[in-house]
């Protein structure tokens, strides 16, 4: 895997407060910001996004029952070329001594999986859905 960080997802305790902070900090147009009930995404270009996500939900993504000390406060996301590439990366994770948190799964966002490195840091590996 040649890592290319496509998304950095940061865990926050107060989504509104964090959004106000980063909105004031980043020099970005309103049409480059997307929001839902549980997240805010800043789309800087076609290759990089910065996402705010509730810390307790990041804990769930990381396979932890709740956000405790030692729970990762961020998720690094790598965009792979295809679902097959995602699965190949997961095989390498196991060989390297990592742990698969969530195997490759299809969703509305594409095909993705989560893994933990040898130090407990969480990565998402994803492949975008193919255009119709």
Residue 90 tokens read as: 């997961």
The gap from C-alpha 79 to its chain's centroid, in whole angstroms, comes to: 10
Provide the mean pLDDT of the chain: 85
What pTM was estimated for this model as a whole? 0.68
Model confidence pLDDT, tens digit, residues 74-87:
788 888 999 999 99
Residue 8 tokens read as: 């950095």
50, with CB counted inside 10 A (0-12, 13-18, 19+), is: middle
Model confidence pLDDT, tens digit, residues 13-62:
888 888 998 888 888 999 999 999 999 999 998 889 999 988 888 777 76
d(CA 111, CA 90): 13
d(CA 73, CA 58): 7
44, with CB counted inside 10 A (0-12, 13-18, 19+), is: exposed
- 93 to each of 6, 25, 116, how far by Cα in Å? 19, 35, 8
């Amino acid at each position: 895997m040649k890592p290319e960080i496509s998304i950095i997802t940061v865990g926050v305790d107060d989504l509104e407060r964090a959004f106000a902070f980063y909105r004031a900090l980043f020099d970005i147009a309103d049409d480059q910001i997307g929001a839902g009930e549980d997240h805010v995404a800043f789309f800087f270009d076609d290759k990089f996004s910065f996402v705010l996500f509730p810390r307790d939900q990041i804990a769930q993504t990381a396979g932890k029952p709740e956000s405790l000390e030692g729970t990762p406060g961020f998720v690094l996301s790598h965009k792979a070329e295809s679902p097959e590439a995602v699965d190949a990366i997961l095989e390498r994770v196991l060989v390297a001594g990592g742990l698969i948190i969530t195997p490759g799964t299809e969703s509305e966002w594409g095909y993705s999986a989560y893994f933990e490195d040898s130090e407990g840091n969480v990565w998402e590996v994803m492949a975008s859905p193919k255009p119709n």
